[in-house]
Structure 1
Amino acid sequence: MATLTTDAIQRSLEDLGTPLADVTFCVVDLETTGLSASECAITEIGAVRFRGGERLGTFQSLIDPGSAIPPSITVLTGITSAMLIDAPRIAEVLPSFLEFLGDAVVVGHNVRFDLSFLNAALAETDRPRLSNRSIDTCGLARRLIRDEVPDCRLGTLAERLRLEHQPSHRALDDVLATGDLLHLLIERAGSLGVTGLDDLLALPTMAGHPQADKLRMTDSLPRSPGVYLFRGRRGEVLYVGRATNLRARVRSYFSTDTRRKTGQMLRETARIDHLACGSALEAAVLEIRLIHSHEPRFNRHGNTWRRYAYVKLSLGERFPRLSAARTLKDDGGLYIGPLASTSAARTVIDAIQSVVPLRRCTCRATRSPGTGPCVPAQLGLAACPCSGEVDEEQYARIVSRAVEGLTSRPDLLIDPLAVLMRELADQKRFEEAEEVRCRAAALAGALRRQLRLGRLRESGRLQVLSPGRGGAEFCDGLLVQAWRADAAGDPTLEFPPASGKRPVPGEPIPRDIADELNCVAAWLESESHLLRLEHCDGTLADPLTRIPTFRPMTDPHA
């Protein structure tokens, strides 16, 4: 049985991400004829590659910008037009510079300025933009040492921090000073638990977060798949989520996530627990079960299952009719769903009733009809056994058609809607055609999901393997255990049965397990090309004719 982890643990080397000591940084600085990358040009490039604090190589070149150097730039940098007479043009320098840069992480002080000029030069020479990751030492300095210096200009930082190299507004001098600053900032960042490249890249925005002091809660999180739980002061679960990289995902709440509810959640958070998983499937199933179990206040997705509804055909009645039901009853009815809401169920009902004239009146049909036809019957939209216009045998044929369409022949319901939609579109009645499309899409989605989950429920005990990756075992569509390929067949997690009654073929799908069934079905479909079937008690097959998808219509003349 898997247990939640809250304490720091000894992590493997894979959990540490890319250690900063193994990262190759290329510190870059440019001198230019002005501030605008679209109107000005590069006059000098300087770059130095570092790894583990060691200087690996140096690149420096003056560049002919193709225009005179403004006097203000000469005063600032000391570069004159005469110095650039024999210098190469940028098109000649770029190939060697790109080779020197390689896939290193680009570092600069206000690196966005340097990258804008480099990308402009690449565009002018028909080359793609740089895809290298980048680090701005100015942004890092603002987060790590802002209180120690009057400002974060490179000259000020070099002087106050007594860096070995001092900037001079020449590319190579500025690069060496920026390199010194980078290594000092990396050392400072280590005190915040920054050990990998991903942490360093995210630090500028994290450290300025109002709840940045809670970043220490993420120190024990591995860089592997799993589920995380934000807990309040009383231990209550505030939020449950999953990630392929637990550490990176949880730390992102302190940087890139600006949603209002995230700020409130972090203010209430007193502890962050996690459960590492061997695969994304395990994490997805655990997330669903934990959300259903704890019903966290800040979870929206996955926390609405109690509001799911069904489309019910009341086969237990003498004259069955359709209705939206919130709960399942052992009343002999045919249930389709669960669907997202009562409103979604009513949309599906509208679609069915527009094809099959089932009665819409809610009164109880008697054996001695004495009332007139209901309004839908008067409009020709429904059969009305209450008035005696349709006898029991005739109505049974209508019900049989509906049952067949909902269980084994979805085309009986879908095709007439598709024909009607096309006819309305051909008549340029686009609004009406769109209404039909929406109903058809809702019905098709409900039937597609019903058939998919029903197929999975009938598979019994199912075991699949993914060569080189691991395997999983399911019972009636629910995950029982999963294992990794390197675990010698031992399960990495053994899952207890999900809450609620396990499904039996032919019975309606309980809403408390519908999310997990849907998750497993989606995983099996997406991974089918990688999986090998090892065992299956029942059947596992797709219908030969797939239910169509009704995408939004577009007016060809719009």
Structure 2
Amino acid sequence: MAQPAYVQGTLDTLMSDPAAHSLADTTFVVLDLETTGGAADGGGVTEIGAVKVRGGEELGIFATLVNPGERIPAFITVLTGITDAMLAPAPPIESVLPSLLEFLRGAVLVAHNAPYDVGFLKAACARHGYQWPNPKVLDTAAVARRALTRDEVPNRKLSTLAQFFRSPVTPNHRALDDARATVDVLHGLFERLGSFKIHTLGDAIEFAKAVTPTQRRQRHLADGLPHVPGVYVFRSADDRALYVGTSKDIATRVRSYFTASEKRARISEMLGAATRVEAVECAHPLEAEVRELRLIAAHSPPYNRRSKHPDRVVWLKLTTEAWPRLSVVRKLADDGAAYLGPFSSRRTAELAAAGVYDALPLRQCAHTLSVRTPMPACALAELGRCPAPCEHRISVEDYAATAALPFRTAIHGDPEIVVASLMGRIEAMSQGRRYEEAAVLRSRLVALLRATVRMQRLAAITRLAEVVAARRDGVGGWEIVVVRHGRLAAAATSPPREHPRPTLDAARLTAETVLPGPGPVPAATAEETERILAWLERPDTRLVETSGDWVSPVRGAARFSTLLNRAEAAASGKDSAVRSSVTDRSDDARSLRL
């Protein structure tokens, strides 16, 4: 075996993304194997030839025969000229692999029909306990299929391509000669790729994959974008926002839309209509997430499916009448009423309301009741499902104590009275084998409990006039946020090796003024506040200053999270899972007393 030659790369080269390297600056190992035939898990390697090149210059070669530990089929000997006698003194593959893997280290692996060669090498590493280095791989056959037309070459065989690119080496099914011919094909393909504006390794690898003509034509839209966290907006010719996204690295993320990994039909359609990409640089990923939500809400891009209409939420309102009732409303008001939500749909709100009606004696009619003049009761009163305040069967004070006050307590503090009532009914139905009815009650419990947990979390942060927090950014600096009434008011990143206090003070001075509102999420959408909460609750986040105590009820809805998770899991399962979940009531009963 010839000793390979090596070139020491610069520190900047070693630390940068290899996919962003220009083809001229990338080190390639062009490899070819000869084998006993068959699949990688059943055949053996008989010869390895590899050539290391960079910038058109040969840096080293690796060539050896390999004893496969088995006889060579006659047709392989006829094809390659390699005989059993030639291989008898050759080293086995387990002795060759360490030197070969060292030769491959830090380089891009190139082969003609690369999956075949890579498959044999990976199988050999697995059999003999070597870790496959998983290098980037460029397949010259795949590149040729996309770069050359049928009019130019009738097929993509190595011998055909070597002749087309006028290689001085004729492929002859010997590993080193075939590898050298592949080097000439590789360089010929690089010249051809220039006409497709392919100049980097990453672009060449993606070009070899099955990208659409639209992706190839529009890939220039990713040019010049910054490698920073932020938001990107695909815009049409009339400057309309088509799609809004976010990433820790805008340039890398936008480039991914023009690769074979992007297969969504709607995105392909969007790319065809886009004429430019606008980048909004952000201090850190949390600010990018929040700005994405706000831009989607402001522009309703046609190709964004989520978060397009954050204002389309509804709330359950306990009215301020003498005998209050539940009403589904779209907006919060500063009227002293109790609100539960937000709900993403009216159906979910009505499902939670049904759970309240199952647990508490709230009236379900929409009539305006007079404390002086009674009116006839409806059928629900006759069925015992309403205390009939319409007929003045219950006083205003008793109604408040038995219905209205427990509802307010459940949504703002401890929901046990509601949960216990529903769980008791579920248990009774399951014992009576009324599984379908029990499952309906369970879905109402899930809707009600999920909304209560969510609102109590939102209310805890929203009632605070200001929260200042920071976390390490991974490179020596600090990510800083200023949150006011649940809304991101300012974001900044302090530089490495500098005290973060000046940056923090500047962020507070320039932060948005946020006024409190009547409900748990008055200053921002629930989704924005939940993104902020997820960031604040990370174990590496430090609270710097708060304007008050950030607290939740001691016996609040969060203590039923395990019960909620179990109920949600059962609701998403099949009928057998439903029956099993509603019949095991002993564990649920114990959980209510935790």
Q: Is this a same-fold pair by TM over 0.5?
A: yes
Please say if residues 351 and 439 of structure 1, whose CA atoms lie closer than 8 Å, have aligned partners that are also in contact. Answer: yes
Identify the residue that residue 162 of structure 1 maps to in structure 2. 166
* Alpha-carbon spacing, 1:191–1:303, altered in 2? closer, same or farther (3 Å): same
State how far apart, in whole Å, the 2-side matches of 1:222 and 1:88 are: 51
Task: State which of 484, 487, 494 in structure 2 corresponds to 1:475.
Answer: 484
Please say if residues 313 and 323 of structure 1, whose CA atoms lie closer than 8 Å, have aligned partners that are also in contact. Answer: yes
**SS of alignment partner, residue 90 of structure 2:** coil
Deviation at 1:391, TM superposition (A): 2.5
Query: Counterparts of 1:43-442 in structure 2 under 5 Å?
Result: 43-51=46-54, 53-102=56-105, 104-125=107-128, 131-146=134-149, 148-163=152-167, 165-186=169-190, 188-189=192-193, 192=196, 194=198, 196-205=200-209, 208-255=212-259, 256-314=261-319, 316-367=320-371, 368-375=373-380, 377-397=381-401, 398-418=403-423, 421=426, 431-442=436-447
**SS of alignment partner, residue 359 of structure 2:** coil
Task: State which of 448, 452, 457 in structure 1 corresponds to 2:462.
Answer: 457
* Alpha-carbon spacing, 1:198–1:472, altered in 2? closer, same or farther (3 Å): farther
486-495 or 214-223, larger mean C-alpha shift: 486-495
Aligned pair count reads 540
Deviations 1:290-346 (A, max 9, x none): 1111111111111032322112222x2221122322233444322222221112212
Deviations 1:90-123 (A, max 9, x none): 3343344334333543322221112222233334
Amino acid at match of 2:257: Y
Structure 2 residue runs without a partner (length 5+) = 1-14, 581-594
TM-score with structure 2 setting the length: 0.81
Amino acid at match of 2:519: E
Task: State which of 546, 550, 557 in structure 1 corresponds to 2:565.
Answer: 550
State how far apart, in whole Å, the 1-side matches of 2:509 and 2:144 are: 47
State how far apart, in whole Å, the 1-side matches of 2:76 and 2:486 are: 70
216-225 or 129-138, larger mean C-alpha shift: 129-138
* Alpha-carbon spacing, 1:181–1:530, altered in 2? closer, same or farther (3 Å): farther
Amino acid at match of 1:306: D
Amino acid at match of 2:305: R
Deviation at 1:284, TM superposition (A): 0.7
**SS of alignment partner, residue 75 of structure 1:** helix
* Alpha-carbon spacing, 1:512–1:277, altered in 2? closer, same or farther (3 Å): closer
Deviations 1:417-476 (A, max 9, x none): 456556666776654454444333322321222122212212222222224332122222
Please say if residues 425 and 433 of structure 1, whose CA atoms lie closer than 8 Å, have aligned partners that are also in contact. Answer: yes
State how far apart, in whole Å, the 1-side matches of 2:297 and 2:362 are: 36
**SS of alignment partner, residue 42 of structure 2:** coil
* Alpha-carbon spacing, 1:75–1:16, altered in 2? closer, same or farther (3 Å): closer
Amino acid at match of 1:342: R
Please say if residues 226 and 250 of structure 2, whose CA atoms lie closer than 8 Å, have aligned partners that are also in contact. Answer: yes
> Within the alignment, does 1:530 sit opposite 2:534 as a pair?
no
State how far apart, in whole Å, the 1-side matches of 2:443 and 2:396 are: 32
Amino acid at match of 1:58: I
State how far apart, in whole Å, the 2-side matches of 1:494 and 1:188 are: 55
Amino acid at match of 1:550: N
Amino acid at match of 1:529: P
**SS of alignment partner, residue 365 of structure 1:** coil
Please say if residues 494 and 503 of structure 2, whose CA atoms lie closer than 8 Å, have aligned partners that are also in contact. Answer: no
* Alpha-carbon spacing, 1:79–1:480, altered in 2? closer, same or farther (3 Å): same
Identify the residue that residue 19 of structure 1 maps to in structure 2. 21
Amino acid at match of 1:142: R
Please say if residues 487 and 524 of structure 2, whose CA atoms lie closer than 8 Å, have aligned partners that are also in contact. Answer: no
Deviations 1:111-168 (A, max 9, x none): 1112222233334345566533322222222333446433322222222123454433
Please say if residues 458 and 520 of structure 2, whose CA atoms lie closer than 8 Å, have aligned partners that are also in contact. Answer: no
State how far apart, in whole Å, the 1-side matches of 2:207 and 2:49 are: 26
State how far apart, in whole Å, the 2-side matches of 1:476 and 1:201 are: 48
Q: Which has the higher contact order (CA 8 A, sep 6+)?
A: 1
**SS of alignment partner, residue 178 of structure 1:** helix
Deviation at 1:50, TM superposition (A): 4.2
Please say if residues 486 and 521 of structure 2, whose CA atoms lie closer than 8 Å, have aligned partners that are also in contact. Answer: no
State how far apart, in whole Å, the 1-side matches of 2:523 and 2:347 are: 16
Identify the residue that residue 592 of structure 2 maps to in structure 1. none
State how far apart, in whole Å, the 2-side matches of 1:246 and 1:394 are: 60
Deviation at 1:404, TM superposition (A): 0.5
Amino acid at match of 2:488: L
State how far apart, in whole Å, the 1-side matches of 2:276 and 2:336 are: 48
Please say if residues 361 and 374 of structure 1, whose CA atoms lie closer than 8 Å, have aligned partners that are also in contact. Answer: no
Amino acid at match of 2:389: P
Deviation at 1:193, TM superposition (A): 5.1
State how far apart, in whole Å, the 2-side matches of 1:393 and 1:473 are: 44
Identify the residue that residue 4 of structure 1 maps to in structure 2. none
Amino acid at match of 1:321: R
Deviation at 1:372, TM superposition (A): 3.0
State how far apart, in whole Å, the 2-side matches of 1:266 and 1:396 are: 58
111-120 or 231-240, larger mean C-alpha shift: 111-120
326-335 or 249-258, larger mean C-alpha shift: 326-335
State how far apart, in whole Å, the 1-side matches of 2:321 and 2:484 are: 34
Please say if residues 44 and 61 of structure 1, whose CA atoms lie closer than 8 Å, have aligned partners that are also in contact. Answer: yes
Deviation at 1:517, TM superposition (A): 1.6
Amino acid at match of 1:485: S
Amino acid at match of 1:483: A
Amino acid at match of 1:515: E
Please say if residues 457 and 503 of structure 1, whose CA atoms lie closer than 8 Å, have aligned partners that are also in contact. Answer: no
Identify the residue that residue 10 of structure 1 maps to in structure 2. none
State how far apart, in whole Å, the 2-side matches of 1:253 and 1:247 are: 11
Deviation at 1:232, TM superposition (A): 1.2
* Alpha-carbon spacing, 1:423–1:134, altered in 2? closer, same or farther (3 Å): farther
Amino acid at match of 1:469: G
Amino acid at match of 1:25: F
Please say if residues 369 and 387 of structure 1, whose CA atoms lie closer than 8 Å, have aligned partners that are also in contact. Answer: yes
State how far apart, in whole Å, the 2-side matches of 1:34 and 1:508 are: 69
Identify the residue that residue 493 of structure 2 maps to in structure 1. 484
State how far apart, in whole Å, the 2-side matches of 1:308 and 1:53 are: 62
48-57 or 471-480, larger mean C-alpha shift: 48-57
Please say if residues 27 and 48 of structure 1, whose CA atoms lie closer than 8 Å, have aligned partners that are also in contact. Answer: yes
**SS of alignment partner, residue 244 of structure 2:** strand
> Within the alignment, does 1:521 sit opposite 2:529 as a pair?
no
* Alpha-carbon spacing, 1:80–1:465, altered in 2? closer, same or farther (3 Å): same
